[in-house]
A and B are shown apart, each in its own frame.
Chain A
Amino acid sequence: MLGILRQITRIGTITEPLAASDQFKVMGKRLESVIRNHFAGSLTIRAVDAGSCNGCELEIHATNNAYYDIERFGIHFTASPRFADMLLVTGPVSVNMRKALEMTYNATSDPKLVVAMGDCAVNCGVFGRDNYAIAGAVSDIIPVDVVIHGCPPTPTDIIRGILAAAEMR
Chain B
Amino acid sequence: MTQPINTWFVEHLGDCDIHSIWLNDHRPEHMPCLEIRRLDWAHAACEARRLGMRLVALWGAEAGCHDRDAHAMYAYMAFAHPEHRHTLLRTPLAAENPELPSISGHYIAACRMERHMQDMFGIHITDIPDPRPWIKHEHWPREAYPLRVDFDARPPLLAEAHGDYDYVRSGSEGVYEIPVGPVHAGIIEPGHFRFLAVGEHILNMEERLGYVHKGIERAMQSKSAEEGLKVASRISGDSTVAHAWAFAQACEYAGQIDVPRRASFIRAILCERERIANHIGDIGAVCNDAAFAFMLHQMHRLREDMARLHLELFGHRLLMNTLIPGGVLVDLGERAIGLLREQTLAIANEVEHLRAIYADHPSIQGRVIGSGMVPVEDAQDIGLLGYVGRASGHYPDERIEEAYAPYDELEVNVPQGKLGDVATRVWVRFEEIAESSRLISELLEKMPEGPIVANWLPPEPGVSGFAAIEGWRGEIAAWVRFGEGGQIDRCFVRDPSVINWLGLELAVREVPVPDFPLNNKSFNCSYSGNDL
Contacts and interface: CB of A to CB of B under 8 A. Distances in A.
A binds B: yes
Interface in A77-132: 77, 79, 91-92, 94-100, 104, 125-128, 130-132
Interface string B371-400: 000000000000000000000000000000
Contacts of A54: 189, 236-238, 526-528
Interface string B319-357: 010000000000000000000000000000000011011
Contacts of B219: 126-128, 131
Interface centre among B214, B215, B219, B298 (most CB of A within 10 A): B214
Interface residues of A, number: 52
A126 B151 CA distance: 21
B215 A131 contact: yes
A152 B300 contact: no
A141 B173 CA distance: 42
B377 to A, nearest CB: 32
Contacts of A53: 234-237, 528
B189 A132 contact: no
A130 B214 contact: no
A58 B189 contact: no
A133 interface: yes
A3 B357 CA distance: 6
Contact of B298 (A7, A125, A154): A7
B444 interface: no
B211 A11 contact: no
A133 B156 contact: yes
B154 interface: yes
Contact of A66 (B159, B188, B240, B300): B300
Interface in A23-56: 47-56
A161 interface: no
Contacts of B96: none
Contact of B187 (A77, A95, A125): A77
B301 interface: yes
A154 B210 CA distance: 27
Interface stretch (B16-24, B51-59, B178-186): B178-186
Contacts of A154: 317
Contacts of B357: 3-4, 7
A145 interface: no
Contact of A94 (B212, B235, B236): B212
A133 B151 CA distance: 12
A165 interface: no
A164 interface: no
B212 A96 contact: yes
B323 to A, nearest CB: 15
Contact of B190 (A65, A100, A151): A100
B160 to A, nearest CB: 11
B318 interface: yes
Given A65-B297, A132-B151, A151 B320 contact: yes
Contacts of A50: 190
Which of A59, A61, A67 has the most chain B CB within a 10 Å cutoff? A61
B231 interface: yes
Interface string B148-185: 00011111110100000000000000000000001101
B440 interface: no
Contacts of A58: 237-238, 281, 318
B146 interface: yes
Contact of A49 (B151, B188, B353, B356): B188
Given A49-B188, A56-B237, A11 B298 contact: yes
A136 B214 contact: no
Contacts of A96: 135, 137, 210-213, 531
A52 B317 contact: no
A11, A53, A131 interface centre (most CB from chain B within 10 Å): A53
A14 B307 CA distance: 16
Nearest to B311: A154
Contacts of B215: 127, 131-134
B156 A47 contact: no
A7 B528 CA distance: 36
A91 B211 CA distance: 12
A125 B237 CA distance: 13
B303 interface: yes
Contacts of A14: 301
Nearest to A64: B300
Contacts of A144: none
A12 to B, nearest CB: 11
A51 B219 CA distance: 15
Nearest to A97: B211
B521 interface: no
Given A55-B237, A131-B214, A95 B297 contact: no
Nearest to A128: B219
A129 to B, nearest CB: 9
Contacts of A49: 183, 187-190, 212
A77 B187 CA distance: 8
A65 to B, nearest CB: 4
A163 interface: no
Contacts of B531: 96
B360 interface: yes
Contact of A132 (B154, B186, B212, B303): B154
B350 to A, nearest CB: 9
B435 to A, nearest CB: 23
A133 B218 CA distance: 9
Contacts of A55: 234, 237-238, 240, 318, 320
Contacts of B152: 132
21 contacts: A49-B189, A52-B528, A53-B234, A53-B235, A55-B318, A57-B237, A58-B237, A61-B187, A61-B281, A61-B300, A64-B300, A65-B297, A66-B297, A94-B211, A95-B156, A96-B213, A99-B139, A100-B211, A126-B219, A127-B216, A131-B156
Given A3-B360, A79-B185, A94-B212, 18 more contacts: A7-B298, A51-B211, A51-B212, A52-B212, A53-B236, A53-B237, A54-B237, A65-B304, A95-B139, A96-B210, A97-B190, A99-B139, A126-B230, A127-B219, A131-B153, A131-B154, A131-B218, A132-B152
8 interchain residue pairs of minimum CB distance = A55-B237, A133-B215, A79-B185, A53-B237, A65-B300, A54-B237, A3-B357, A53-B234
